[in-house]
Amino acid sequence: MRAKLRIGALISGGGSNLQAIIDACEGGRVGGRMVFVGADTPGAKGLGRAKKHGIPTFVVDYGEVIRAFRRAPTPPSPADFDLQDVRAKQALFSDDRDPERDRHFFSSRAVAESRLLAAMAGFDFDLLVLAGFMRNLTPYFIDRVNTVPGEPRIMNIHPALLPAFPGVDGYGDTFRYGCKVGGCTVHFIDYGEDSGPIIGQKSFAITPRDTVDSVREKGLALEWQLYPECIQLFAEGRLKTVKLTYALPDRRTVQRSVVKIAV
Ligand code: GAR
């Protein structure tokens, strides 16, 4: 029998996706168990859900780290932080952005991320799931979790049919655009914002009777099915990330990392 997948989770809010994953593990629909839940704010309600199930929790207060960073003129960065390396790899901001803003963003996030990594080091885990974690992770963190080339192990759920509507309000953006179909996406994290290889998607119709709230409700109900399904595919070793090169009609070529699901 295959060993149970050890899953860690990061959250920022209510944790209904976290709950869906815990329930799927306990109900046998996911061959795994949740080994820790971390949050970026002490107020994250999902922490209570984890505690109810006896799952260890920790908090790295991003707000506090960022405020302290603003106050200190030369704030200490983690010893292994290399700003040039992180800036060269990141795909969150355009290259012509003010270098001082970049330095502030990536250095302060490295402080928070090094604390996350220190807290996570207390647990053995196979997969890290972002379940409503509302922070962009930087290459500093990603490279320290994804240590085997070609085998990503940080998943995210996003409330839109990516690559449409990345960012913080996927359902709102979908609704306001006038889309007739909405949906949710589970993908591996890469160095950009909601841009990594897609694992699974589910969609729903948006009718004239819908409001932004009903769109969110429909979407969340699908997220609770989709996330456990994708985690189970990972647990079964069926997700392979491959780099493909495509020829475009204008003869240029484009390279994408895509997830192939073994049948
Ligand atoms: C979910 O809709 C999730 O897709 C979204 O936050 C919500 C969290 O709900 N995530 C993002 O927007 C990530 N950029 P939950 O805390 O009840 O799981």
pLDDT tens string 114-146: 999 999 999 999 999 999 999 999 999 999 999
CB-CB contact of 11 with 36 (8 Å) = no
What confidence category does residue 96 fall into, taking pLDDT thresholds of 50, 70 and 90?
confident
Q: Ligand 1 centre from 55 Cα, in Å?
A: 20
Residue 5 CB partners (closer than 8 Å, separation 6+)? 30, 31, 32, 33, 126, 127, 231, 234, 235
The per-residue pLDDT for 73 is: 66
For residue 77, pLDDT over 90 is answered with no
Q: Ligand 1 centre from 16 Cα, in Å?
A: 8
Q: Ligand 1 centre from 132 Cα, in Å?
A: 4
Ligand 1 atom at shortest distance from the alpha carbon of 194:
14
For residue 1, pLDDT over 80 is answered with no
Ligand 1 pocket check: which of 11, 16, 185, 189 to mutate, most ligand atoms within 8 Å of Cβ? 16
For residue 76, pLDDT over 90 is answered with no
Residue 68 CB partners (closer than 8 Å, separation 6+)? 75
**Mean confidence (pLDDT) of the chain:** 96
Q: Whose CA is nearest to atom 7 of ligand 1?
A: 132
Ligand 1 atom at shortest distance from the alpha carbon of 12:
16
For residue 173, pLDDT over 90 is answered with yes
Q: Ligand 1 centre from 173 Cα, in Å?
A: 14
Q: How far apart are CA 45 and CA 126, in angstroms?
A: 25
Q: How far apart are CA 55 and CA 127, in angstroms?
A: 16
For residue 72, pLDDT over 90 is answered with no
**Is the C-alpha dihedral spanning 157, 158, 159, 162 positive or negative?**
negative
Q: Which residues line ligand 1 (CB under 6 A)?
A: 13-17, 46, 131-132, 134, 157-159, 168, 170, 220, 223
CB-CB contact of 224 with 184 (8 Å) = no
Q: Report pLDDT digits (tens) over 28-69.
A: 999 999 999 999 999 999 999 999 999 999 999 999 999 998
Q: Whose CA is nearest to atom 9 of ligand 1?
A: 132
Name beta bridge partners: 246.
Answer: 254
The amino acid at 9: A
- The DSSP code for 29 is S
In order of their start, the domains of the chain are: 5-261 (3.40.50.170)
* Residue 178 in tokens: 């006038």
Q: How far apart are CA 124 and CA 121, in angstroms?
A: 7
Ligand 1 atom at shortest distance from the alpha carbon of 158:
4
Catalytic residues, by residue number, are 158
Ligand 1 atom at shortest distance from the alpha carbon of 16:
17
Q: Whose CA is nearest to atom 2 of ligand 1?
A: 159
Q: Report pLDDT digits (tens) over 181-221.
A: 999 999 999 999 999 999 999 999 999 999 999 999 999 99
Q: Ligand 1 centre from 164 Cα, in Å?
A: 16
pTM value > 0.85: yes
Residue 153 CA from chain centroid, whole number: 10
Residues in the chain: 263
